[in-house]
Structure 1
Amino acid sequence: MELIGQGREADVYALDEYRVLRRYRQSGPTEPEARVMNHVAGCGYPVPKVYEATGTDMVLERLTGPTMLEVLARRPWRVGSLGRTLGRLHDRLHALPAPEWLPRRFATAGDDRVLHLDLHPGNVLLTRRGPVVIDWRNACAGDPAADVAMTLVLVGGAEVPGPAARFGRGLLVRSVRKGCRTDPAGRIREVAEAKLADPDITPAEAAWLRRRASGTQAGLPPDRRSGAR
């Protein structure tokens, strides 16, 4: 099999021109992830088709197109439009009621929307049919504000070299907020604390998260629309 992609937790192999194998290196099962993908797909949300899920392996539809992150690296002037696209993907997802079997996280009474909790530019493929969201490992039911907050924390804390890139990161955060209707401010500190438990974060990311979790820099760049929340 040809290795065509690698992430922090999984490798992706080409099976043929229509299918790929996504294989997690250490943990399973993949059946819960496949179940939530099938659920949101049935509601019209853009995800790859799932052909099979067993143990640490998932056989998925093979999609053609770069990730949003790859496009941002090559065409940074598109940061505003792509950030708004990411925000709209949140809105579409959070319109979906969560099924009863989906685990709850970041939830209070009445919070029953589907959350992705890893919806960053590296997990959005820009295909001919439009943006498609991948990697549903962390999906749960809960408060949409936590999902948007997690995206902003992931983007804001990412290690990006150079002053121009840091400016672009801030613009991406603001554009995500402009693109979605949910105000994440009330969940930023809680989400930053939760992300600190991730063993894969770098020392620089951990330092950034601690500042938000401690409240010394709890905020993120504001949405600057007139009348914004």
Structure 2
Amino acid sequence: MGTGNTAKVIAREGGTVAKVFYRHIASDFIEYEFAIYEEIAKTPLQVPRLFSFEKEEHALIFERIYGASLMAEMKRSPLFMPYHIRLLAKCHTDIHNCRDLLLPVLRDRLALRISQSNHLNEREKEKILSHLDGLPDHERVLCHGDFHPDNVLITKEGHVIIDWADAAAGSRLADIARSFLLINYGGLTSSRVQGVFRRILAGYYVRCYRKTEPFAKSELQKWILPVAAARLSESIGEREKEVLLKLIHARMNE
């Protein structure tokens, strides 16, 4: 059904799917992800039920969700794209209304990923980490960590939010900044038209979110630098990497 950097998802009988982790992934990592999903299950959000961790199979067993992703719907019906972006923003505010969960701290996760990046020198990392340390850290809302249109499924029963492996507790602005960057640059190609279109969508997503939960644009902008830098530690395409590095260097020189 799909493959990723750490696992592949396989359909099984009985209305379940198995997220089968590659053998080089440690069991501790899988148990950690299992614990994350147990916390998410405490929220009122519609998410896939997690049934078990099958150690022998090196797999987590989830409820199978039948539906198309929001991204697929956007491609199928471009005229309804504004509606789909509004739905995405509404789902995100619902996530951020959840609190008091036992999850990793988002700021710590960002700091670790920045320090692990092979695309920044030590002076650059130091400067970005110093900037991160200066950002407000009083919020502890639920942050998805990788929220974009492919992680919302449209079903007969409503929308279901999937892929919670990067969930953390922290600032909603950091999570919004992540989504803004993903909509804008995630999997970016060299197409100029695509680049312009995605900038429009990313900007519209932020405006839709602000209509429900207002915040100052200037406060969101403060999170772009560390969130973009943390993204560099992931397996991303050359074009996206190039654009993010340009953005990071521009922000550092402001």
Aligned residue number for residue 131 of structure 2: none
5+ residue gaps in structure 2? 109-135
Structure-2-length-normalised TM-score: 0.75
Retained in 2: the 8 A contact 1:146–1:191?
Answer: yes
Aligned residue number for residue 71 of structure 1: 73
Aligned residue number for residue 202 of structure 2: 173
Q: 2:151 aligns with which of 123, 133, 141?
A: 123
Aligned residue number for residue 104 of structure 1: 105
The one-letter code sitting in structure 1 at the alignment partner of 2:89 is G
Bigger relative contact order, structure 1 or 2, given CA contacts below 8 A and separation 6+? 2
Q: 2:13 aligns with which of 8, 12, 16?
A: 16
Distance in 1 separating the partners of 2:73 and 2:196: 17
Aligned residue number for residue 236 of structure 2: 201
Residue 54 of structure 1 and its aligned partner are, at CA, apart by 4.3
* SS of match in other structure, 1:215: helix
* SS of match in other structure, 1:30: helix
Per mean C-alpha deviation after superposition, the further-off stretch among 25-34 and 78-87 is 25-34
The one-letter code sitting in structure 2 at the alignment partner of 1:168 is F
Mark the structure with the bigger radius of gyration: 2
Give the 5 Å matches for 1:74-223.
74-99=76-101, 101-106=102-107, 108-158=136-186, 159-160=188-189, 162-180=191-209, 181=213, 182=215, 183=217, 184-198=220-234, 200-215=235-250
Distance in 1 separating the partners of 2:223 and 2:251: 15
1:173–1:41 distance in 2 versus 1, CA, 3 Å: same
The one-letter code sitting in structure 2 at the alignment partner of 1:175 is Y
* SS of match in other structure, 1:42: coil
Per mean C-alpha deviation after superposition, the further-off stretch among 184-193 and 17-26 is 17-26
Per mean C-alpha deviation after superposition, the further-off stretch among 158-167 and 75-84 is 158-167
Aligned residue number for residue 40 of structure 2: 40
Distance in 2 separating the partners of 1:174 and 1:197: 25
Distance in 1 separating the partners of 2:100 and 2:221: 22
5+ residue gaps in structure 1? 219-229
* SS of match in other structure, 2:10: strand
Q: Which runs of 4+ in 1 moved over 4 A?
A: 160-164
Over aligned residues, Cα RMSD in angstroms? 2.3
Residue 131 of structure 1 and its aligned partner are, at CA, apart by 1.6
Distance in 2 separating the partners of 1:53 and 1:23: 10
1:42–1:89 distance in 2 versus 1, CA, 3 Å: same
Aligned residue number for residue 226 of structure 1: none
Distance in 2 separating the partners of 1:102 and 1:21: 23
* SS of match in other structure, 1:114: strand
1:160–1:70 distance in 2 versus 1, CA, 3 Å: farther
Distance in 1 separating the partners of 2:79 and 2:189: 16
1:38–1:78 distance in 2 versus 1, CA, 3 Å: farther
The one-letter code sitting in structure 1 at the alignment partner of 2:40 is V
Per mean C-alpha deviation after superposition, the further-off stretch among 176-185 and 120-129 is 176-185
The one-letter code sitting in structure 2 at the alignment partner of 1:104 is V
The one-letter code sitting in structure 2 at the alignment partner of 1:148 is I
Percent of pairs identical after alignment?
Answer: 24
Distance in 1 separating the partners of 2:208 and 2:60: 31
Aligned residue number for residue 27 of structure 1: 25
The one-letter code sitting in structure 2 at the alignment partner of 1:27 is I
